Structure 1
Amino acid sequence: MNLTAFQDALNARGAEVAAFFAALPARDFTHAVPERWSAAQHLDHLIRSHKLLALALSMPRDRFGWGQRTPPGSRSADEVQAAYLAALRGGVKASGRFLPDPQGTPAELVQTYRESVDLLDHHLTVYCTDAELHRATLPHPALGEVTLAEMLHFTLYHDLHHLRGVQNALNPQALETQ
Structure 2
Amino acid sequence: MSLRTNPGAPHPNSRKWGTPAVNRQSGLTLVELIICVAIVAVLASAAIPIARFQVKRVKERELRRDLWEMRDAIDRYKDAADKGAMMTKADSFNYPPDLQTLVDGVEIQDKKVKFLRRIPVDPMTNSAEWGLRSNQDDADSDSFGGQNVFDVHTKSTGTALDGTKYSTW
Give the TM bin, normalised by the shorter chain.
under 0.3
Q: Which has the larger radius of gyration?
A: 2
Higher helix share: 1
